[in-house]
Amino acid sequence: MTKSVEKTKQASEIKASVLEVVDYQYCGQRDVEINIEQPEFTSLCPMTGLPDFAKIQIHYTPDQKIVELKSLKYYLLQYRNIGVFYEHLVNIILDHLVEMVRPKTMTINGVFTPRGGIQTSVMASYNQTIH
């Protein structure tokens, strides 16, 4: 292994507790769809230690809480030194946000920049009525 791979941190080091939530003031009155996009997301390839770049899209319908955006920014910044495969990364983000926000529905989409001519997008979804 190269030195860069040895220095990468593991996904288990990501702390969901960084996320803060606030009350959704229209709970029980109406549903809204919230779309958040982080176009400058970075993490590391767990095989090479090289940076991966992506646009992370978060779409959700809140129940009682919404995510506070500054805390979301700091949460996503934790991934900069984490070696993680795309599929695992998107599922971790979904699990952490569902744990903290408890939305009615949520979808996380990671659109990763091409590497070696291959474009990859990964989507994971949660639906409160199914779980």
State phi, psi for 83 to the nearest 5 degrees.
Answer: -90, 115
Angle CA 53–54–56, to nearest 5 = 150
The residue from 23, 52, 63, 95 that is catalytic is: 52
Tokens for 56, please give them: 């992370």
45: annotated active-site residue? yes
Question: Which is the catalytic residue, given 27, 45, 63, 95?
Answer: 45
Task: Return d(Cα 101, Cα 20) in angstroms, integer.
Answer: 8
Which amino acid would we find at residue 87? Answer: E
Half-sphere exposure at residue 92, Cβ-oriented, CA atoms within 13 angstroms: 20
Let me know if 27 is a catalytic residue: no
* Catalytic positions, written as ranges: 45, 52
